[in-house]
A and B are shown apart, each in its own frame.
Chain A
Amino acid sequence: MLKINNLSATVDDGKKTILKDLSLEIPAGEVHAIMGPNGAGKSTLSYVLTGRDGYAATGGSVEFEGEDLLEMEPEERAAKGLFLSFQYPLEIPGVPTMTFLKTALNAQRKARGEEEMKAPEFLKKAKALAKELKMDPDMLKRPLNVGFSGGEKKRMEIFQMMMLEPRFIVMDETDSGLDVDAMRIVADGVNKLRSEEFGGKDRGMLVITHYQRLLDYIVPDKVHVLAGGKIAETGDAEFAKKLEAEGYDAYAA
């Protein structure tokens, strides 16, 4: 589903190379985790995949369902179904959450040539989901993320994810700022999107995390270590526990 081939990428106007010949393939229906030390390029990978300005791919390719992802604008990638749960979700002053999300959903649908979702259907879905994620419905009326705590912002990312039902999800340090209860709620949401009922067979996920604990709740099919700008080792869910215990010293560049 997502094929990364020998990807190299720079930041700071090409001054700093962060990813070096990184290759990774994530088939539909699988959840892969990327772990690694700080500064290994985990967040850079998430921004290169989603097309953020300033994160330039200088070599290699990324194919998403057979299409060249790197050629697309960020909004086109989103419409294709690529979703990034941000490590630091942005505050959008003056734009109510519901307005933001409805605009996003219908912009994606329009780009895919689908019909817009009507307001009543959208509201019904949003209300049910807010309840499921134990969110205060008033949060949906407030400007997106403005004045929210770190944990509330992360929960809002999951809310958006479940409203948009993306095909491929990149989660960048979603566990940071979450207490155990909140993490369980978030993981329940993610696991629901993995389930058969919600089309999990056709959906891929890349979970970027520094710590193993999130992976107790979202059990990955594969775990990769990102170090020195490339995948240094790959293992199964148990491998994450070993990494947690032993640290990343063995992969120091």
Chain B
Amino acid sequence: MPMPLDLKTLPHRRQEAWKWTDVQAKVSEDQNGLTRTAIPNFDVPDGVKLSEGEGQKGHGAMAELAAQFGGQSWNVYVPANTHPTSDLVIDRLAQGHARIAIMVDKGASLTMTENYEGAENGFSNLDLQIHLAEGATLNRRVIHRDPDSHIRISNVHIAAESNTTITQHCLSFGGALSRLETGLTCEGEGVKAILNGAYLLRDKRHTDMTSFIRLKQPDSHIRQAVKGVVTDKSRGVFQGKFLVERPAQHTDAAMRHDALMLSDSAEVRAKPELEIYADDVACEHGNTIGALDESALFYMRQRGIPLKQARALLTEAFVSEAFDSLADDTLRESLNAQVQAWLEANA
């Protein structure tokens, strides 16, 4: 018998960073995968090496649990100046704890997709540590489709050296409780990052998109846009923070979170934060929570578009802005099609 997971060690709402995502209150003893090691499936492109080893450990209670129950780390290595022609795909994170460490060496690039499809009544906890060496490029995509009963924590940290480029696009349809957390530390100068996401939630689903971007050196350019759509009794959470340290002059960073409430019973919680110690920077954040524009809806109906379709069109247009920066046309269309399908069923 493996030792049990002490539920008291789970994050809870009295901790500031988890005040809107109370894992402890949601997890029960009968959740599947609490003490198990997850067995992810990797599609590894040519030229990329996969091995098992010590790996690295992230910060916080969930990373501790991943270290305790997640076994060895899966280590992915992209050698210097390698540009794989296909994507790294990680899926089958159906339940249990997983540890993954990815190193993209100097001048190399990696496009990776994580498909989160959890098991019924499952619990998933991922600790993913990514290191980008100088001049490396990372394109990360996350597609999150869990059943109503699944609880998922995905805790990702990216350490970016000088002149690295990152694009990240997450699409989440939530679960019983989900937190997709991204930490980015710009260790070097001239980091370019786009960190976008969208969540669409129905029933009592919950998605928390939390990010912490720490800029330690000059000349980085960060764009973050998260779109939320909530209906029924669902809850969307956005917590974003930019920490601009004293040496990080000429940082150009902008954060946006915009949420649409399709029903009054749904809930959105947002906390955008800036903490700036450098004096020559351009930093901004914006946050809106609102309903669809009634005048625009009437205009569309006057042209003959039925109300439901008008709502879906406006909402789709709102969400798709998060994916405009996605260079891969096929993927962008696929994400938009998933959004459309969701809207047809729920808007």
Distance, CA A51 to CA B300, complexed state (A): 12
- Bitwise, B296-308 to A at CB < 8 A (1) or not (0) is 1011111111110
Q: Which residues of B contact A83 (CB under 8 A)?
A: 302-303
Most chain A CB within a 10 A radius of its CB, from B302, B317, B318: B302
| Residues from chain A with Cβ under 8 Å of B313 in the complex | 95, 100, 103
In the complex, B294 has a CB within 8 A of chain A: yes
**Does A108 contact B321, Cβ atoms closer than 8 Å?**
no
Distance between Cα atoms of A74 and B302 in the complex (Å): 6
Judge if B239 is at the interface, Cβ distance under 8 Å. Answer: no
Q: What residue in chain B is nearest A96 (Cβ atoms)?
A: B317
> Nearest residue in A to B294 (C-beta to C-beta)?
A53
Is A162 an interface position by the 8 A CB rule? no
B320, CB-defined interface residue at 8 Å? yes
Q: Indicate with 1 or 0, residue by residue over A63-101, a CB within 8 angstroms of chain B CB atoms.
A: 000000000011101110001101001111111000011
Q: Let me know if A95 and B304 touch, CB within 8 A.
A: no
Shortest CB–CB separation between residue A28 and chain B, in angstroms? Answer: 20
- Assess whether A62 is interfacial by the CB under 8 Å rule: no
- The reply to whether the CB of A111 lies closer than 8 angstroms to some CB of chain B is yes
Shortest Cβ gap from B123 to chain A (Å): 37
Chain A residues with CB under 8 A of B56: none
Find out whether the CB atom of A75 lies under 8 angstroms from the CB atom of B307.
Answer: yes
CB-based contact B298/A100 at 8 Å:
no
Do the beta carbons of A103 and B305 come within 8 Å of each other? yes
Q: Are A53 and B299 in contact (CB under 8 A)?
A: no
Q: Which of A147-177 contact B (CB under 8 A)?
A: 160, 164
B309 touches A103 (CB 8 A): yes
Q: For the complex formed, measure the closest distance between the CB of B3 and the CB atoms of chain A, giving whole angstroms.
A: 52
A73 x B304 contact (CB < 8 A):
no
Q: Whole-angstrom distance between the alpha carbons of A108 and B306 in the complex?
A: 9
Q: Does A52 contact B (CB under 8 A)?
A: yes
Q: Across the interface, which residues of B come within 8 angstroms of A100, CB to CB?
A: 300, 303, 305, 313
User: B314 at interface (Cβ–Cβ under 8 A)?
Assistant: yes
Supposing A103-B309, A103-B313, A107-B309 touch, asked if A92 and B304 sit within 8 A by C-beta, the answer is: no
In the bound assembly, the distance between CA atoms of A160 and B317 in angstroms comes to 20
A75 to B307, CA, bound (A): 8
Tell me whether A107 and B307 are in contact (CB under 8 A). no
Task: Give A174 Cβ to nearest chain B Cβ, in Å.
Answer: 15
A74 touches B301 (CB 8 A): yes
Let me know if A126 is at the binding interface, CB within 8 A: no
Does B304 contact A164, Cβ atoms closer than 8 Å?
Answer: yes
Chain B 306-339: CB-based contact to A (< 8 A → 1; otherwise 0): 1101000110111011000000000000000000
Contact residues of A between 12 and 68, Cβ < 8 Å to B:
50-53
In contact, B321 and A104 (Cβ under 8 angstroms):
no
Least Cβ–Cβ distance between A95 and chain B, in angstroms? 5
- CB neighbors of A among B199-216 (8 A): none
Chain B residues within 8 Å of A84, by CB: 302
- Which one, A77, A107, A164, contacts B306 given CB within 8 A? A107
- A107 and B304: CB pair below 8 A? yes
B41 at the binding interface (Cβ < 8 Å): no
Contacts of B298 in A (CB 8 A): 52-53, 74
Q: Is there contact, CB below 8 Å, between B300 and A104? A: yes
A90-B299 in contact given A95-B313, A103-B309, A107-B309 (Cβ < 8 Å): yes
Tell whether A93 pairs with B317 under 8 Å between CB atoms, given A73-B307, A75-B307, A103-B309.
yes
Q: A95 contacts which chain B residues (CB < 8 A)?
A: 313-314, 317
Is the beta-carbon distance between B302 and A78 smaller than 8 angstroms?
yes
> Quick one: closest A residue to B324, CB to CB?
A94
Chain B residues within 8 Å of A160, by CB? 303
Q: CA A53 – CA B298 in complex, angstroms?
A: 8
Q: Which residue of A lies closest to B315 (CB)?
A: A94
Residue interface mask B257-289, A partner, CB < 8 A = 1: 000000000000000000000000000000000
Q: Known contacts A94-B320, A95-B313: does B305 contact A107 (CB below 8 Å)?
A: yes
Offer 23 A-B interface pairs, CB within 8 angstroms, sorted by A: A50-B302, A51-B301, A52-B302, A53-B294, A53-B298, A73-B306, A75-B305, A75-B307, A78-B304, A83-B303, A92-B296, A92-B299, A94-B314, A94-B316, A94-B320, A94-B321, A103-B309, A104-B303, A107-B304, A107-B309, A108-B303, A111-B306, A160-B303
**Which residues on A are within 8 Å of B, measured CB to CB?**
50-53, 73-75, 77-79, 83-84, 86, 89-95, 100-101, 103-105, 107-108, 111, 143, 160, 164
Residues of B within 8 A of A (CB): 293-296, 298-307, 309, 313-314, 316-318, 320-321
Assuming A53-B294, A75-B302, A95-B313, what are 15 further A-B pairs, CB within 8 angstroms? A51-B301, A74-B302, A75-B307, A78-B303, A83-B302, A90-B299, A92-B296, A92-B300, A93-B318, A104-B300, A104-B304, A104-B305, A107-B305, A160-B303, A164-B304
What are the 9 closest A-B residue pairs judged by CB atoms, nearest first? A94-B317, A78-B304, A108-B304, A104-B303, A74-B301, A90-B299, A75-B301, A104-B304, A107-B304
